[in-house]
Amino acid sequence: MTISPRRALSGLRRAAGHAVDLGRVLVATVNNPLDGLPPEIFTQDLVQRRLVHRPAVYLTGPSLVQEALVAHAGDLDKGETVRRPLGPALGDGLLTAEGDDWRWQRRTIAPVFRAATLPRFTPAMLAAAERAADRLLLSAAQGPVDIGAETMHVTFDIIVDTMLSGGEGFDVRATAAGIERYLHHTRWAILANILSIPAWVPLPGQRAGREVAGALRRQLGARVALRRSEGERRDDLLTLLLEATDPETGRALDDAEIVDNLLTFVAAGHETTALSLAWTLDLLARHPDILRQVQREADAATPGDVAALPLTLRVVQEGLRLYPAAPMFARRVANPFRLGGVALKRDTVLLVPVFAIHRRTAWWDAPHVFDPDRFLPNAVAARPRLSFMPFGAGPRACIGAAFALHEAAIVLSTLLRRLDIQSVDPLPPRPRMAITLRPTRPIRLRVIPRTTRQLGPDPA
Ligand code: HEM
């Protein structure tokens, strides 16, 4: 068979195109995976691609996302995309477990995070937020502050205090830095997974990461064992986990399962909420009119009364829209099915790029503009439900969503009751997608003690 020069040339071009595409994706996976996202996902509901040898499908249409994550939840699993980077640290906790093991844990732990439980955690959240305001006011005298470092500190305090009421024995800064180091290196595990590099091949940062996780696991294990032997009841997550039983079988969690889940809550709950707070504070610093309204709302509310903070909650939601802390998540097709006219074969990677969903012009006008009024009830009712999904969707959606919103509203209102903030850099930092959405450089804010004189008269 002879091939015409024209066909050969177009074949070569296609192959070169794939190679360039693959190169772009691989470089982006290490540098900033946001740069490797296909531009079509900002306009189309379903985009097909290949991730090296595996078919991949990006889903950004709310009804298709719903169909996949809810109706076909049983045909999907997380596969190695999640286990490889996070499994070594989190064991078989809720985020990484699969199948029946996940199902019974979810049933057992769900009541711990229901809305009615949240008020128990309010005092710890308020106290940690007040301490954060004290620290910020102290460091403000030395110039602009790295607000991300501070929000990491406060959410770490909160997760430790709500889990272990007191959290003695935890070196907050060292542990938070260790977790950050661990997450920083997960990009290599993600890349290794895309390239199907076998699990025995050592990756950069892997050993240090395992050491950090091992040390944390030992610390937590000792506290769980102590609490179980003491039999002391406290108003914290650990007590609730020790007492939780599967409503179907009556089975309780053993110590190792509790440690996996405590670590999971630290990993899944602290950095996500910290980043959301940092991005939101940056947005508020750039929108002084809205900042002032949030401050007035905080002034008028009883501390900890989140129901009295509707604007603050809208601001948090709009922050999560523009900078979703979990910007993309993945599933593996375990049982083939059809979706949007496309046959999804076994092992297809389903990617849900929340970052792109939240900036699609189909349902968000001027999508890059900060406008908390998008979350007024009428505006919400006019959009498809999954046009906003910072906490995922379906049975594996975030178990800590209500906890995170409660916490974010309390921290923001506590800080902004006492502080004014101004941005120092003319433009916000670019987001970088690791597992979470981090700023490419620190978010620096000028912090000023707030006085009523600065506020001026209330126009209302
Ligand atoms: C703003 C803060 C947060 C964001 C944006 C967020 C986002 C998410 C998302 C998108 C998922 C689903 C991932 C997937 O489907 O693959 C998830 C799962 C999860 N999140 Fe969160 N999360 C936040 C805070 C929290 C907090 C505070 C906790 C716990 C204290 C938590 C615990 C979990 C757990 C355990 C899962 C796994 C649930 C399961 O698979 O059954 N998250 N989170």
Written as one letter, the residue type at 364 is W
* E runs forming strands in 282-388: 329-333, 337-339, 342-344, 349-352
Per-residue confidence (pLDDT) for residue 23, from 0 to 100: 59
Question: Out of 2-6, 81-85, 162-166, 302-306, which region has the weakest mean confidence (pLDDT)?
Answer: 2-6
Residue 57: pLDDT band by 50, 70, 90 thresholds? very high
Residue nearest to atom 25 of ligand 1 (CA): 269
**Cα separation values, 111 from 95, 108, 277, Å:** 17, 7, 26
Instruction: Dig out the tokens for 246 from the structure.
Output: 């599967």
* 320 Cα–ligand 1 center, Å: 13
CA distance 76 to 89: 23
Q: Whose CA is nearest to atom 43 of ligand 1?
A: 398
Of 267, 268, 277, which Cα lies nearest the Cα of 133? 277
Q: Provide the b/e sequence for 183-192 (b: ≥16 CB within 10 Å).
A: bebbbbbbbb
How would you classify residue 205: left for phi > 0, otherwise alpha for psi between -120 and 50, otherwise beta?
left
Taking residues 297-308, report their average pLDDT. 97
The tokens describing 81, both together, are 């995309």
Q: Is 276 in the pocket of ligand 1 (CB under 6 A)?
A: yes
List strands edge to edge, sheet with 54-59: 46-51, 54-59, 349-352, 329-333, 76-77
Question: Among 268, 253, 262, which Cα is nearest to 104's?
Answer: 253
Residues 337-368 as b or e (16 or more Cβ within 10 Å = b) = bebeeeebeeebbbbbbbbbbbbbebebeebe
What is the pLDDT at residue 172? 60
Atom 27, ligand 1: residue with shortest CA distance = 269
Cα separation, 340 vs 59, in Å, equals: 10
Residue 61: pLDDT over 90: yes
How many other C-beta atoms can be found within 10 angstroms of the C-beta atom of residue 222? 12
Q: Which residue has the tokens 């401050």?
A: 295
Residue 105: the pLDDT is 94
Quick: pLDDT tens for 354-380.
999 999 999 999 999 999 999 999 999
Choice among 98-107, 270-279, 397-406, 449-458 with the minimum mean pLDDT: 449-458
Whether residue 391 has its Cβ less than 6 Å from ligand 1: yes
What pLDDT does residue 439 have?
Answer: 95
How many Å lie between the centroid of ligand 1 and the Cα of residue 363?
Answer: 24
Which of the residue ranges 93-107, 173-187, 293-307, 416-430 would you say has the lowest mean pLDDT?
Answer: 173-187
Q: DSSP per residue over 128-144, as a string? A: HHHHHHHHHHHHHTTS-
Is the CB of residue 351 below 6 angstroms from any atom belonging to ligand 1? no
The answer to whether the beta carbons of residues 426 and 308 sit under 8 Å apart is no
Check pLDDT > 90 for residue 25: no
Share of the chain above pLDDT 70, in %: 85
Q: Which residue among 190, 317, 398 has the greatest number of ligand 1 atoms within 8 angstroms of its CB, and so is best to mutate?
A: 398
Residue 85 CB less than 6 A away from ligand 1: no
CA of 420 to the centre of ligand 1 (A): 30
272 lines ligand 1 (CB under 6 A): yes
Distance of alpha carbon 272 from alpha carbon 316, whole angstroms? 13
Q: Into which CATH architecture does domain 19-455 fall?
A: Orthogonal Bundle (1.10)
pLDDT by residue (tens digit) across 103-161? 999 999 999 899 999 999 999 999 999 999 999 999 888 999 999 999 999 999 998 88
Q: CB of 396 closer than 6 A to ligand 1?
A: yes
The amino acid sitting at 172 is: V
**Contact in structure between 410 and 126 (CB atoms under 8 Å):** yes
The pair of structure tokens assigned to 89 is 């640290």
* Domain positions in the chain: 19-455
Which residue lies with its CA nearest to atom 21 of ligand 1?
398
Lowest mean pLDDT among 35-44, 140-149, 200-209: 200-209
Q: How many residues does the chain have?
A: 460
Structure tokens at 78: 């997380």
pLDDT at 236: 87
- How far does residue 38's CA lie from ligand 1's centre (Å)? 25
Amino acid code (one letter) for 278 = A
Bridging pattern class, strands 444-449 and 76-77 = unpaired
DSSP one-letter string for 79-111: HHHHHHHHHHHHTTSTTT--HHHHHHHHHHHGG
Residue 440: alpha-carbon gap to chain centroid: 16
Q: Which atom from ligand 1 is nearest to the alpha carbon of 324?
A: 5
For residue 317 and ligand 1, the question of a CB distance below 6 A is answered with: no
